[in-house]
A and B are shown apart, each in its own frame.
Chain A
Amino acid sequence: MLFGKRGRRVAGMLLGTMLLGGVLAGCGGGDKAKSDEIKVGANFEMTGNVANYGNATFEGLQLAIDEANAAGGINGKKITLVKADSKSEASEAANAATKLISDDKVSVLVGPATTGSVLAEVRIATDAKVPIIAPCATSPKVTVENGKVQPYVFRSCFIDPQQGDVMAAFAKDNLKAKTAVVYVDSSSDYSKSLGQVFKEKFEAAGGKVLMEEAFLQKDQDFKATLTKLMTANADVMFVPAYYEEVGKIVKQAREIGFTKPIIGTDGWDDPKVADIAGKDALNNTYFSTHYSDKDESVKPFIDAFQKKYNKAPNVFAALGYDAGKMLIDAIKRAGGVDSEKITKALAETKDLKVGTGILSMDANHNPIKQAVILENKDGDRVMVAKIMPK
């Protein structure tokens, strides 16, 4: 009896191990790329802390690819998106990128949404000579490391210094602010680096940053820090962060009686901000972004997105869509799935019409595109400035 039980246990364990071994072997091979398709790896934050940004970016990308496929593909070839989950974590992003490149044999990688995750896959892609398009990783070091351009990395958004500069000038010149407080998301590279640039530029222009504070992703309650920031009595508050927290920050700031302008960056660009904060609270706030939804040239994208997903796009979706457009254009010009040729074509992107405007690639693999500053006014967004690329 005892022996039988033992035997069963051993058998069960061996079976389990073999089963897993089978899975291992099964997944080891990967499919060979069929000749009539172009495989694109979509490495995004499907789960984890920033899953909502990863998913939104993916939706935009998917829309661009679907449109291209509906129009007959590229030179008769359809584009297939192969999804992988980076779990909002750098090491998992590297893992997923390795899978897409080595198992799925993709020609191009798109994503992930956040800087840290993109940085983790740069070397893997570079070693395999597969280009990456990072739709919304805004840190300069994504494309330029120690003064050297990363040959296989491109992006479809503008970089932090650009935006920080724009908002510092706006605060100083348009809002006539002499003093400011900065409130950043210390779990985000994007937010921290924007906060730093803003401070440098604002102080260089003669302003003064009185207080710098930080919060963490997924925080719910900001009142304690906001109360502290209020004691500084500054003319403006700069919150370079993503919409989920921004909505709550604006709402709570107004609740505790902060009436001064609150300004931010493209992370604010989501209809949810108004839902969370409420349109009254959102008055007297300004942010920079890539386009105004009033702009006629952006309308086709917004309509198409609305039709496909039954919701308005946010900035992540727009940048994902732009990344898709860049990709399609590059594959078209490269005339095939060869990664080297696609890389070259991406670098030569010029005057391409994307969802949010016209875009050209500069020598550092950063797009040259317009920026706009929008004001939230009674639930509407009004364009207050348009900054064309220099």
Chain B
Amino acid sequence: MDFGSHLIQQLINGISLGSVYALIALGYTMVYGIIKLINFAHGDIYMVGAYVGFFAITVAHMGIFPALIVSMVVTGLLGMVVERLAYKPLRHAPRISVLITAIGVSFFLEYGSMYFVSPTPRTFPRVFETEGLTIAGFTVNGQQLLIFAITLVLMVLLTYIVQYTKIGKAMRAVSFDTETAQLMGIDANRVISVTFGIGSALAAAGGVLVGVYYNSIDPLMGIMPGLKAFVAAVLGGIGIIPGAMAGGLILGIIEALVSGFISSTFRDAAAFAILILVLLFKPSGLFGKNTQEKV
């Protein structure tokens, strides 16, 4: 393989990896956008989504798409329950307390599922043929294409929801100023709840797709992707939906290129280093607007 085609193959690998990050980052960024909470439990919600999908396929013998829907619904509800029980009572507490609660929820989901489903990894049954497609000498996997396509569709759908629907307008209003939004007759609690639901459902979709693609799920599978997705969201400008998508893809590509041309042991370090460099020059991320505090 010559340098050029190696590069292109690595870009393909990077985009496929990046779409997974982007998918999780979308939910992250939505939740952050509305209540400015770094929901560290998001990665674990993604893990729960993968397990729900797994049990839907293996125990309830569903097909992949019904399982995906079931997982999104169940996990979406879980997200709303978590928000209702753990975050809502702290709506007026210092932000850092909510963050600690999020870490607590994250631990609870991780270790709870370790207890209930055991730490042994589970393997998804084959639901797709895993033939690699070879296009012009480059291998692309059908599932990679599927994940990329689904991420893209979800991003467009989300942007549409946030920009043009009633609930989306309410979301933006709540995000901008919760109290004023409430004065305008918006039920902020319901809007926040719905946002968590949508965000968690997205994470679940990511979980199932990743489970199918990599074929192995375990209770700690959410930690690293969760962190990476957060990095992706910040890279793109947290709270901005296309930013999360772009951030995810950029992060994936960086990782693939570092692994492919430098050394995979420095992959994560390079990803973080680039994040920090970007922040130093664009303190609110690539797509973020620099807002100066009014004096």
The reply to whether A and B meet directly (CB within 8 Å) is yes
Number of B interface residues, CB 8 Å?
Answer: 42
In the bound complex, how far is the Cα of B267 from the Cα of A228, in angstroms? Answer: 14
Q: Give the residue of B17, B132, B223 whose beta carbon is less than 8 angstroms from that of A224.
A: B17
Q: Report if A303 contacts B (CB, 8 A).
A: no
Q: Report if B1 contacts A (CB, 8 A).
A: yes
| Majority secondary structure, A binding face | helix
Q: Report if B9 contacts A (CB, 8 A).
A: yes
Nearest-CB residue, chain A, relative to B120: A52
In the bound complex, how far is the Cα of B218 from the Cα of A56, in angstroms? Answer: 14
Q: Report if A362 contacts B (CB, 8 A).
A: no
- Chain B residues with Cβ below 8 Å from A213 are 263-264
Q: Quick check: B130 and A227 within 8 Å, CB to CB?
A: no
In the bound complex, how far is the Cα of B223 from the Cα of A48, in angstroms? Answer: 11
Q: Quick check: A216 and B223 within 8 Å, CB to CB?
A: no
| Majority secondary structure, B binding face | helix
CB distance from B118 to the nearest CB of A (A): 7
CB distance from B163 to the nearest CB of A (A): 32
Q: Report if B139 contacts A (CB, 8 A).
A: yes
Binds B, one of A6-14, A109-117, A243-251: A243-251
- Chain A residues with Cβ below 8 Å from B134 are 257
Bitwise, B1-14 to A at CB < 8 A (1) or not (0) is 10000100110011
Binds A, one of B153-161, B230-238, B252-260: B252-260
Q: Report if A225 contacts B (CB, 8 A).
A: yes
Nearest-CB residue, chain A, relative to B123: A275
In the bound complex, how far is the Cα of B223 from the Cα of A206, in angstroms? Answer: 43
Q: Quick check: B9 and A227 within 8 Å, CB to CB?
A: yes
Q: Give the residue of B126, B215, B220, B255 whose beta carbon is less than 8 angstroms from that of A218.
A: B220
Q: Report if A91 contacts B (CB, 8 A).
A: no
- Chain B residues with Cβ below 8 Å from A230 are 1
Task: From known contacts A52-B121, A56-B120, A224-B10, infer whether A244 and B139 are also in contact, taking CB-CB under 8 Å.
Answer: no
Q: Quick check: A55 and B119 within 8 Å, CB to CB?
A: yes
Q: How large is the interface on A (under 10, 10 to 19, 20 to 34, 35 or more residues)?
A: 35 or more
Bitwise, A223-259 to B at CB < 8 A (1) or not (0) is 1110110110000000000001001100100011100
Bitwise, A176-218 to B at CB < 8 A (1) or not (0) is 0000000000100000000000000000000000000111101
Q: Quick check: B215 and A251 within 8 Å, CB to CB?
A: yes
Q: Quick check: A214 and B215 within 8 Å, CB to CB?
A: no
Q: Quick check: B259 and A224 within 8 Å, CB to CB?
A: yes
Task: From known contacts A51-B119, A255-B132, A255-B139, infer whether A224 and B14 are also in contact, taking CB-CB under 8 Å.
Answer: yes
Q: Quick check: B123 and A276 within 8 Å, CB to CB?
A: yes
Q: Report if B244 contacts A (CB, 8 A).
A: no
Q: Quick check: B263 and A247 within 8 Å, CB to CB?
A: no
Bitwise, B157-191 to A at CB < 8 A (1) or not (0) is 00000000000000000000000000000000000
CB distance from A114 to the nearest CB of B (A): 14
Q: Quick check: A214 and B6 within 8 Å, CB to CB?
A: no
Q: Quick check: B223 and A218 within 8 Å, CB to CB?
A: yes
- Chain A residues with Cβ below 8 Å from B218 are 52, 244
Q: Give the residue of B6, B215, B255, B257 whose beta carbon is less than 8 angstroms from that of A247.
A: B215
CB distance from A40 to the nearest CB of B (A): 22
Q: Report if B111 contacts A (CB, 8 A).
A: yes
Q: Report if A278 contacts B (CB, 8 A).
A: yes
* Chain A CB within 10 A, most for which of B6, B118, B214, B256: B214
Q: Quick check: B214 and A248 within 8 Å, CB to CB?
A: yes
Q: Quick check: B259 and A228 within 8 Å, CB to CB?
A: yes
Q: Give the residue of B13, B114, B221, B224 whose beta carbon is less than 8 angstroms from that of A223.
A: B13
In the bound complex, how far is the Cα of B92 from the Cα of A80, in angstroms? Answer: 50
Task: From known contacts A224-B13, A225-B259, infer whether A218 and B224 are also in contact, taking CB-CB under 8 Å.
Answer: yes
Q: Quick check: B265 and A214 within 8 Å, CB to CB?
A: yes
Q: Report if B55 contacts A (CB, 8 A).
A: no
In the bound complex, how far is the Cα of B114 from the Cα of A48, in angstroms? Answer: 9
CB distance from B9 to the nearest CB of A (A): 5
Q: Quick check: B13 and A276 within 8 Å, CB to CB?
A: no
CB distance from B230 to the nearest CB of A (A): 16
* Chain B CB within 10 A, most for which of A186, A225, A251: A225
- Chain A residues with Cβ below 8 Å from B71 are none
Q: Give the residue of A49, A55, A227, A247 whose beta carbon is less than 8 angstroms from that of B13.
A: A227
Q: Quick check: A224 and B255 within 8 Å, CB to CB?
A: yes
Interface pairs (29), CB distance under 8 Å? A47-B114, A52-B218, A55-B118, A55-B119, A56-B120, A213-B263, A214-B265, A218-B220, A218-B221, A220-B225, A221-B20, A223-B13, A223-B17, A223-B256, A224-B255, A224-B257, A224-B259, A224-B264, A225-B264, A228-B260, A244-B216, A257-B132, A272-B120, A275-B123, A275-B215, A276-B123, A276-B216, A278-B130, A278-B215
The 4 closest A-B pairs by CB, nearest first: A224-B259, A275-B123, A51-B119, A224-B256
